[in-house]
Structure 1
């Protein structure tokens, strides 16, 4: 039988993805995920990677002891959904430049544990360790870019405080484009928007002037818009808090000129690499969710079809959301945009 790898062997090898956290045993679960498999999966979840029946389970203290003081530069992409964030994340994955992580479950575990009543000091220590375990590049000098799920957004400022050298991009879809995406994706997407808003209410992340019961009286698209507004409000506060470290980017700028937008993102994150090669990155040629070949202008055509089908409802909800944004002083277009050339 082959001997199980040592703690040092696992921590030193970025193929071992820090996948879960078990607060009962203060342990991280690792699973082996080679770089090509990470690039092929839209999200680093069991749904897309397959179930791991025999993870390597290591005490947090042992992991941190094996990791030492050195760590790769760590940066973040925080997003508000349906904004081409997976494409951007995968496009930034360039060997020798940066390794990217798309929605690692470990950060979802940080959210769940906090909601279950984790002591804030303990949570901060474990979050620091989780970021250390995620921030392991494949090669010396290689940065790590993490795109958390947007359920993590209420913890974004805490993560940036734990990593004062980290930089971040706040990626969002304009309000109408976001609502069109929700409408065309159907019932399950509308339910997901309700679940997201429910989670944000539990986190105290929604400051729109409504009572919790008011959301029961709102349509699906109003609820989706409320979630978008909550994220937009928080993103604006983040930009005001650390404008030198954080920049915004909207999905239409990204998808209409991806090579230029990705180059600007690399500049902001202080990533090296050949900007001229960006246009040939495979992430720009495929649908980030299905893996199918991505036709130029596909996103715009999808939105146009949704406009034809749901335009009247979208207009009503967008008008309502704009009024709410005005009352709550929420910018519909975020300040601090990446200088895309």
Structure 2
């Protein structure tokens, strides 16, 4: 239930949910921790309808600039790589607040997709970062997992917050393409929408494909190029910002959760009890539906999907390796979180 008190822009329980572009205002919704834990993503569908309060973006930034809050830590991901699981494991009352795919960052990405003025994009991102730095309880640090369409805005985030720490989380190429195949028409529609956005953001140009060649791609070729485009972006970020960025492949997270969490705590500046978190519900239940699910169950699910689509996957993965060689994309990222 919403509080009876008016909007307190310093209180992170007032979620900065959306950017209202035509009025240059932020829209806030009362959304305390117990609400966060009931949903998977901070989307319109899952946040739902309810009372909201708007505040002028410039007014909010002027108030937030005096708070001296640390920048949020960011988990950027290429999808289907345990990012929701990891974010849930880092929502720790008294220590850290986790924000899963906040819609306000999608609004900033939307400005970029519509080729808005760069100054407006930067000003809106600055406001969003101020908003996402507000924890759900006093004394906590915030950890944010944006949707993967926000990945291309990482250089802007680092320009605005040079101290920000990022983890770049990804699955292996076969696992990503296999996930799309396993999710059938829903996965194939989703990855085509992602591919259009990556093309619009300029991340596909490096492959040198004509408009006709792009149109002729199969669904799983689109999936493979989407992964390669994001992987190339991650490699560029890791090389350009070695102090800010660490990379992690999802199977290593699942195989060595305590080691990964210990290293991530040091990178993010969080005093984590890595062993306890690794034994907890985040790593023993499905992050989206709550059923019992662990590394072995995840691997078995991947194997079943790979067997069902074996021939198509084999052809596409061989083609993707040739495309990676052509575009000069290394399949192993620098700056690994775990040696």
Under TM normalisation by the shorter chain, which class is it? over 0.9
1-structure distance, mates of 2:214, 2:118: 29
- Match of residue 101 from structure 2: 103
- Match of residue 267 from structure 1: 266
- Match of residue 167 from structure 1: 165
- Match of residue 182 from structure 2: 184
Partners of 2:76 and 2:168 within 8 A in 1: yes
2-structure distance, mates of 1:143, 1:208: 39
Q: Which secondary structure state, in structure 2, belongs to the residue aligned with residue 331 of structure 1? A: coil
What is the aligned length? Answer: 336
Greater mean alpha carbon deviation, residues 226-235 or residues 331-340: 331-340
Q: Which secondary structure state, in structure 1, belongs to the residue aligned with residue 42 of structure 2? A: coil
Alpha-carbon distance, 1:261 to partner = 1.8
- Match of residue 124 from structure 1: 122
Q: Which secondary structure state, in structure 2, belongs to the residue aligned with residue 30 of structure 1? A: strand
2-structure distance, mates of 1:32, 1:280: 32
Change (3 A) 1:296 1:124: closer
- Match of residue 40 from structure 2: 42
- Match of residue 78 from structure 1: 76
- Match of residue 247 from structure 2: 248
Partners of 2:248 and 2:338 within 8 A in 1: no
What do the CA deviations read for 1:199-222 (whole angstroms, capped 9, x no partner)?
111111212121233121111100
What do the CA deviations read for 1:149-173 (whole angstroms, capped 9, x no partner)?
0111111111121111111011111
Give ranges in structure 2 of 5+ residues lacking alignment: none
2-structure distance, mates of 1:72, 1:183: 40
1:299 equivalent to 2:313? Answer: no
What pairs up with 1:1-341 in 2 under 5 angstroms?
5-7=5-7, 9=8, 11-49=9-47, 51-67=48-64, 68-206=66-204, 207-339=206-338
2-structure distance, mates of 1:28, 1:58: 5
Q: Which secondary structure state, in structure 2, belongs to the residue aligned with residue 40 of structure 1? A: coil
2-structure distance, mates of 1:213, 1:54: 47
Give ranges in structure 1 of 5+ residues lacking alignment: none
Alpha-carbon distance, 1:225 to partner = 0.3
After TM superposition, the score normalised by the length of structure 1 is 0.93
Greater mean alpha carbon deviation, residues 76-85 or residues 107-116: 107-116
Alpha-carbon distance, 1:12 to partner = 2.1
Alpha-carbon distance, 1:63 to partner = 1.6
Partners of 1:44 and 1:105 within 8 A in 2: yes
Q: What is the alpha-carbon root mean square deviation over aligned residues?
A: 1.8
Partners of 2:254 and 2:295 within 8 A in 1: no
**Structure 1 stretches (4+) deviating beyond 6 angstroms?**
none
Partners of 2:133 and 2:142 within 8 A in 1: yes
